[in-house]
């Protein structure tokens, strides 16, 4: 089944950022806004940025900026070109396909383990997918043209990005199998665990509307699935906030695809330290 996007999405533009900066001064929220940059390379949560050598980081740093995003902020629309590439810090980016009737179906997600905008590695700015911010939070970005140049010059970053590209392709393949085979409750548990891995807290923002888009079902189906997990005492939720109460129980409730994806990322990227410190690793 398909689901219509429930919320009008905000497009990211330079004007948005300047408006947001002005709004921040007046205490009003306008979505995307500039956030304080990490003091050191090691202070990044993004695995790629904190894993590259100091000399490679120094070449990127003048071009990096950190912003704070809200749920459903639009990063790039399908059929348009990237202006930036994105390194999620505490946020999660969703890569979705927009159908002709306007429905959005998730193809994959990118969190702190990787980068959104892999076309920069291959020299193509064209996006076949729509990218939205699903779990709100911090994200570092760099202009696309700068990224294309620097990725050719920075061997460690390029190697990590190649490995991440492979893990992302594997993630999309697993999602195809998962959507065709596994129950909604188990898929819901899988997605919640994946989001939990990429945040710094046991509580994160994720509305039923967003989760419905992620799982390609109608909102009523998500309410039922999340209700089943809540009834088992594994999660709590209210007003768009999810609280993971029993991480181990949620792992038992999830389909095999969660562990497969996590093991694959850890194997390809070189460790399980990418994820939430309190996660009960299955690798």
Return residues touching Zn ion (CB under 5 A).
178, 182, 255, 257
CB of 262 to Zn ion, least distance (A): 12
CB of 195 to Zn ion, least distance (A): 15
Question: Nearer to Zn ion by C-beta: 240 or 249?
Answer: 249
Helix/strand/coil (H/E/C) assignment for every residue in the chain: CCCCCCCCCEECCHHHHHHHHHHHHHCCCCCCEECCCCCCHHHCCCHHHHHCCHHHHHHHHHHCEEEEECCCEEEECCCCECCEEEEECCCEEEEEEECCCCCEEEEEEECCCCCECCHHHHCCCECCCEEEEEECEEEEEEEHHHHHHHHHHCHHHHHHHHHHHHHHHHHHHHHHHHHHHCCHHHHHHHHHHHHHHCCCCCEEECCHHHHHHHHCCCHHHHHHHHHHHHHCCCEEEECCEEEECCHHHHHHHCCHHHHHHHHHHHHHHCCCCCCCCCCCCCC
CB of 248 to Zn ion, least distance (A): 18
Question: Nearer to Zn ion by C-beta: 72 or 217?
Answer: 217
CB of 261 to Zn ion, least distance (A): 9
Question: Nearer to Zn ion by C-beta: 97 or 182?
Answer: 182
CB of 193 to Zn ion, least distance (A): 11
CB of 90 to Zn ion, least distance (A): 25
Question: Nearer to Zn ion by C-beta: 33 or 196?
Answer: 196
Question: Nearer to Zn ion by C-beta: 30 or 182?
Answer: 182
Question: Nearer to Zn ion by C-beta: 150 or 182?
Answer: 182
């Amino acid at each position: 089944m398909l689901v219509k996007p429930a919320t009008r999405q905000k497009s990211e533009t330079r004007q948005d950022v300047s408006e947001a900066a002005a709004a921040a001064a007046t205490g009003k929220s306008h979505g995307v806004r500039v956030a304080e940059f990490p003091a050191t390379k090691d202070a990044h949560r993004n695995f790629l940025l904190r894993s590259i050598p100091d000399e490679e980081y120094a070449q990127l740093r003048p071009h990096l900026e950190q912003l704070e995003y809200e749920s459903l902020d639009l990063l790039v629309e399908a059929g348009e070109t990237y202006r930036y590439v994105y390194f999620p810090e505490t946020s999660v980016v969703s890569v979705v396909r927009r159908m002709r009737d306007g429905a959005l179906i998730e193809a994959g997600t990118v969190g702190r383990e990787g980068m959104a905008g892999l076309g920069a590695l291959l020299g193509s700015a064209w996006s076949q997918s729509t990218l939205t911010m699903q779990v709100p939070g911090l994200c570092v970005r760099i202009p696309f043209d700068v990224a294309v140049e620097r990725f050719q010059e920075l061997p460690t970053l390029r190697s990590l990005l190649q490995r991440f590209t492979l893990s992302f392709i594997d993630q999309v393949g697993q999602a195809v199998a998962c959507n065709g085979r596994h129950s909604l409750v188990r898929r819901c548990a899988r997605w919640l665990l994946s989001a939990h891995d990429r945040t710094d807290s046991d509580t994160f923002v994720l509305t039923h509307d967003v989760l419905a888009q992620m799982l390609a079902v109608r909102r009523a189906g998500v309410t039922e699935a999340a209700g089943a997990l809540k009834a088992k005492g594994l999660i709590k939720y209210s007003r768009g906030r999810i609280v993971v109460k029993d991480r181990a129980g949620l792992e038992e409730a999830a389909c095999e695809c969660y562990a497969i994806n996590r093991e694959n990322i850890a194997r390809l990227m070189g460790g399980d330290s990418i994820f939430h410190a309190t996660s009960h690793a299955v690798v």
